[in-house]
């Protein structure tokens, strides 16, 4: 696996982990607290930023290799 491929897989897994963090903090947390709510907002930020970063990286990587 190339470094580009590994990077894309890593960004995908990180996005899925942010989705799990968000779902856990808002839906599955045993006791709602300020910390779990803060983790939920961090997860939402990751869900927004990681796919954008992944697309920008993919576009840049394609330009470099061509």
In this predicted model, what pLDDT tens digit does every residue of 37-60 receive, in sequence order?
999 999 999 999 999 999 999 999
Residues 29 and 32: their CA atoms lie apart, in Å, by 6
Q: How confident is the model at residue 65 (pLDDT cuts 50, 70, 90)?
A: low
Residues 24 and 35: their CA atoms lie apart, in Å, by 12
Which residue is associated with the tokens 């869900």? 47
Domain span holding position 45: 3-65
- Count of C-beta atoms within a 10 Å radius of residue 25: 21
Domains: count for the chain = 1
Contact between residue 18 and residue 50 where contact means Cβ atoms under 8 Å apart: yes
Q: How confident is the model at residue 1 (pLDDT cuts 50, 70, 90)?
A: confident
Q: Is it the case that residue 3 has pLDDT exceeding 90? A: no
Q: Which DSSP symbol is given to 28? A: I
């Amino acid at each position: 696996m190339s470094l580009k491929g590994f990077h894309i897989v890593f960004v995908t897994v990180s996005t899925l982990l942010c989705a799990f963090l968000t779902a856990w903090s808002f839906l599955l947390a045993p006791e709602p607290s300020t910390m779990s709510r803060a983790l939920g907002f961090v997860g939402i930020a990751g869900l927004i930023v990681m796919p954008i970063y992944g697309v920008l990286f993919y576009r840049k990587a394609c330009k470099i290799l061509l």
